A and B are shown apart, each in its own frame.
Chain A
Amino acid sequence: MRMFLFRELLGAIRTKSAILFVLSGFLMFLFLASVASFLMITPADVTSTTEGQPIEELQVFLSPTLSSATVNAWYLAWRERSDIASLSFQFVEESDQTATRSIFVVTPTDPNQASILAEELRAIDGVTDVIEVPHVKLIEAPTVSLIVRITLLVVLVLSIAASLFFFRRGYRELLAVFAGEIRMLRLSGIHERILVVLVVALGVLIGCLSGLMILAVLYLLHRVALSTGALQLFGGLAHGMRILGSGLMAVGLGTVLGGLAGVLGASLLHRREFDALP
């Protein structure tokens, strides 16, 4: 019986109410798309690189056979050099627990000339090795700007408000066409609950369809993103499970919001024009 009545209710949809319902569904789709976008944004991620970076310091490894007097003399001499900005002496144990040597940590005055200085120091008898340590550059992964986030938030609020507004208008049009049937149903002793369920079910159907469209669009974007590698801003598109989770969430949220819109529509049933007796 309910399916019969639901089909009859759908059959009462005319051009105007159809346009209003499609518009409400599209606005709900926009709302769900905004929510899903927030879930797809790549979180700010900091990585580091040394590639192409200038030499920041030289680690000069000293032979363990060197006397402390020699090391001291080198320290005093190198400190005076114009191509060395700073110099410190360390036992390797300070950085490497297994080693038993000592090193000079040299900061070159001109990072571009560091390799020449390193070659020169390598050539000194008593220096076992020189390691050139480049500058470490921190890279912040690109993420969605504040303006985009605010825009998404505005779209989110406006779309749901507009969707509910057009839902109500659509219901008003539909119920005006179905008014005779409602009066007849009430006169015949049909439970009020059945009428409410019919109206709410229509909202649920539209909301659920909007959610399913989000799921389909997310899957499509997932395929496109994987093939083109365009994932910088919305990294979540790369993860299949995240796509599925967000899509199902959109279906659930769409269903709930559609139900809410349906309840809004069902509130129109209390109007006098639908009373069984005039």
Chain B
Amino acid sequence: MSMIQVSELHFSTEDGVKVLEDVHLRVDQGELIVIVGPAASGKSLLLGLLGAQIPPQQGQILVHGRNVARLGPDKILALRRRIGVYPQGFVPLPRTVHDNVSFKLRALGNYREQAEEKVLYALEAAGLIRQQGMDALELSSIDRIRLGMALAICHDPLLLLIDEPFEGLTETEKAEIARLVSRLNTGHLSILLATRGPVPPGLEMSRRVRLLDGMVKGA
């Protein structure tokens, strides 16, 4: 089943500069797709559009069978709650690792006990269970990324959008994060990971697509 179906997607800046041009992309349920492209090639914008954070201008985006352009504000919010996002340059909240995840879950309407269960599950999945009492701002670079991942998956999303998770990491750490992403790609969860490249070893992707001059190659 198709999780994302993008067709004839165009996007221009306010100045009229074309950022995305005639983008076609299909992501099936459970797939892990890596989008590789140079800086300012429109990767973050594409993820923002797919995550229903940025309204599309032209073209069609179907996420889980829903046309994002036709959704009302409430439906857009409901869709966002089914998507996990790891934003580029993720900065955690100035509280403990545990409380970072707990805050998000409580804000989404989970009761304390319910949230507690999900926090432990997400931290376990991200390999952060031992650091749960630590101040998130004191985490190492790799652990910050792990926390970002835990936050992105804690509410059990259908789609995970990861933007540049390898920034500022050593080759070994990049491989560790690659393995973490691969581990998260189980069951129904579809993952789109955008990176400048190169793709570190250990990332068990379904496909790799290139985003160049606003156009997707190899989709």
* A172-186 interface (Cβ within 8 A of B): 180-181, 184-185
User: A1-9, A92-100, A108-116, A128-136: which one contacts chain B?
Assistant: A1-9
Q: How far is the CA of A191 from the CA of B81 in the complex (A)?
A: 11
**A11 closest partner in B (C-beta):** B95
User: B11-19, B85-93, B189-197: which one contacts chain A?
Assistant: B85-93
Contacts of B88 in A (CB 8 A): 278
Q: How far is the CA of A180 from the CA of B89 in the complex (A)?
A: 13
Which residue of the partner chain, among B87, B89, B107, contacts A190 with CB atoms under 8 Å? B107
**B48 closest partner in A (C-beta):** A277
User: Is B32 part of the contact surface with A, judged by Cβ < 8 Å?
Assistant: no
**A180 closest partner in B (C-beta):** B93
User: Is B108 part of the contact surface with A, judged by Cβ < 8 Å?
Assistant: yes
User: Is A189 part of the contact surface with B, judged by Cβ < 8 Å?
Assistant: yes
Q: How far is the CA of A187 from the CA of B93 in the complex (A)?
A: 14
Which residue of the partner chain, among B74, B91, B92, B104, contacts A188 with CB atoms under 8 Å? B104
Contact B85 A187 (CB under 8 A): yes
Contacts of A180 in B (CB 8 A): 91-94
A277-B87, A278-B88 given; A184·B151 CB < 8 A? yes
Q: How far is the CA of A4 from the CA of B112 in the complex (A)?
A: 10
Which residue of the partner chain, among B48, B80, B87, B89, contacts A189 with CB atoms under 8 Å? B80
User: Is A276 part of the contact surface with B, judged by Cβ < 8 Å?
Assistant: yes
User: Is B58 part of the contact surface with A, judged by Cβ < 8 Å?
Assistant: no
Contacts of A8 in B (CB 8 A): 103, 107
Contacts of A188 in B (CB 8 A): 80-81, 104, 107-108, 155
User: Is B72 part of the contact surface with A, judged by Cβ < 8 Å?
Assistant: no
Q: How far is the CA of A4 from the CA of B78 in the complex (A)?
A: 20
Tell me the smallest distance from the CB of A122 to a CB of chain B, in Å.
97
Q: How far is the CA of A4 from the CA of B111 in the complex (A)?
A: 10
Contacts of A191 in B (CB 8 A): 74, 77
Contact B109 A187 (CB under 8 A): no
Tell me the smallest distance from the CB of A15 to a CB of chain B, in Å.
16
Please list the residues of chain A having a beta carbon within 8 angstroms of any beta carbon in chain B.
Answer: 1, 4-5, 8, 180-181, 184-185, 187-191, 276-278
- What 8 A-B pairs come out closest when comparing CB atoms? A189-B80, A189-B81, A189-B77, A180-B93, A1-B109, A4-B106, A277-B48, A277-B53
